[in-house]
Amino acid sequence: MTEKENSIKNSIEVKNLNKFFNSFNLKNINFSLPQGCIMGFIGENGAGKTTTIKLLLNQLKKDSGNITLLGYDNIKEDKKAKQDIGVVLDESYFHENLKPAHISKIMSKIYSNWDNSLFKDYLNKFNIPDNKIFKKLSKGMKMKLSLATALSHHPKLLILDEATSGLDPIIRNEILDIFLEFIQDENHSIFISSHITSDLEKICDYITFIHDGEIIFTESKDTLLWDYGLLLCGNDDFNKINQEDIIGKRKNSFGYEILVKNKKIMEKKYKQFTIDTVNLEDIMMFYVKGEKSLC
């Protein structure tokens, strides 16, 4: 391991990142992915997830801010950084008439560490036929082939944009197992954007939540699930809740569901009410769609 690799604490560092469009702005984005960890990137459609990933990969030009990947400046040292990064996007860019052998030949000219034997091992592991052209593979097989390709040059960082979207639960679990296996090496890290928050709950160490082009929080997944709660109260009791404690609320036929933070403190403060546990989807939905003003 080189001196540079030994000195890296964060596989991704994003500082004060801005990107301005006519109808949407990515504003002052800050987060870090510690080496050896998996970070889930969540947010509604149009929140800025794919834009952020394109900026990380230098596919879009930033307006301001700094991005480092594995200690490399993502613009000045783009080629060096990408030698150690595996990328899987929602839609593959492989030509529809390519077979796995063709893909391996192309990748061997791009990546200095391309490992054809490892690629074949992944093809066997994923049961990917090596004699079929890409367009004749199922969506699940296409995603597995993309993942096999991303892993076969021995990357230290995986960047994944909706890599499990649209796949059945069996294939998704198989891919999640691969991610957990990859992360066993403490020098490896994963940054994964996904709408399937239950998948992220299974594998992630950290969660970064983006909404309307701004980071709402970057937090340990376990801390999030421990710290937030869903307070349940009837219509007549709603006014007993301090508005400052309400992150978001939703009215139903029984009364109100209210997202609160600092669950243990809230349990002492509102002893007469039930406060349930939450999942990542609850947290995201109440921030995005939960009403915040009093009815």
Rounded Cα gap, residues 82 and 85, in angstroms = 5
Instruction: Report the pLDDT value the prediction gives residue 290, as an integer from 0 to 100.
Output: 67
In angstroms, the Cα distances linking 280 to 47, 233, 259 are 16, 21, 12
Please provide residue 32's backbone torsions phi and psi, each rounded to the nearest 5 degrees: -135, 140
- The helix (run of H) or strand (run of E) holding residue 214 is strand 214-220
Instruction: Report the pLDDT value the prediction gives residue 138, as an integer from 0 to 100.
Output: 87
Instruction: Report the pLDDT value the prediction gives residue 95, as an integer from 0 to 100.
Output: 87
Alpha helices in the chain (DSSP H): 3-7, 49-56, 78-83, 100-110, 116-125, 139-151, 169-182, 197-203, 221-227, 263-269, 280-288
**Amino acid identity, position 286:** F
* Torsion 224-228-229-234 (CA) sign: negative
Instruction: Report the pLDDT value the prediction gives residue 64, as an integer from 0 to 100.
Output: 97
Could you list the pLDDT tens digit for every one of the 295 residues in the chain?
A: 454 554 568 999 999 999 999 999 999 999 999 999 999 999 998 999 999 999 999 999 999 999 999 999 999 999 999 999 999 987 667 888 999 999 999 999 999 999 999 999 999 988 999 889 999 998 888 888 999 999 999 999 999 998 888 788 888 898 899 999 999 999 999 999 999 999 999 999 999 999 999 999 999 999 999 999 999 999 999 999 999 999 999 998 889 999 999 999 999 999 999 999 999 999 999 988 866 544 3
Rounded Cα gap, residues 193 and 87, in angstroms = 12
Instruction: Report the pLDDT value the prediction gives residue 100, as an integer from 0 to 100.
Output: 94
Q: Which of 51, 44, 52 is nearest to 286 (CA)?
A: 44
In eight-state DSSP terms, residue 185 is S
Instruction: Report the pLDDT value the prediction gives residue 293, as an integer from 0 to 100.
Output: 44
CATH 3.40.50.300 fits 3-221, yes or no: yes
Instruction: Report the pLDDT value the prediction gives residue 294, as an integer from 0 to 100.
Output: 41
Tell me the three state secondary structure of residue 75: coil
In angstroms, the Cα distances linking 233 to 99, 201, 236 are 58, 27, 8
Instruction: Report the pLDDT value the prediction gives residue 240, as an integer from 0 to 100.
Output: 94
pTM reported for the whole predicted model: 0.91
For the chain, which residues make up each domain, given as ranges? 3-221, 228-288
